[in-house]
Amino acid sequence: MEDKVLVCKDCGNEFVFTVREQQFYAEKGFKNEPVRCKECRNNRKAASRSERVMYDAICAQCGKPTKIPFEPKNDRPIYCSECFAARRG
């Protein structure tokens, strides 16, 4: 096995798919080689995170308004981050 030079499908720049990365992909069972360079992969991840819709909710424990990344259902309690952490810890 040796390093491979691939071309990013987003920016068109060449990037190296190292032997260590190839071994990691094989261990994880990934069938396809990466099609984007690290910078373009990171940009896509950041863009998808920033598009996340946040919903308003009221903490079931302390009553403070909070935002959550899923649509609240009336049958389940919602907690602010502080109360959620306290319940877990």
Per-residue pLDDT of the chain (89 residues; tens, 9 = 90+): 899 999 999 999 999 999 999 999 999 999 999 999 999 999 998 887 777 788 999 999 999 999 998 888 888 899 999 999 998 87
Longest dimension (CA), the chain: 58
Q: Are 72 and 57 in contact (CB under 8 A)?
A: yes
Write down the pLDDT at residue 52.
Answer: 77
Write down the pLDDT at residue 47.
Answer: 83
Phi-psi category of residue 45: left, alpha or beta, with phi > 0 → left and psi -120 to 50 → alpha: alpha
Q: How far is CA 89 from CA 40, 74, 84, 86, in A?
A: 37, 25, 9, 5
- Whether the full predicted model's pTM is greater than 0.75, yes or no, is no
- Six-digit token pair at 25? 């992909």
Return the percent helix, strand and coil in the chain, to nearest 5: 35, 20, 45
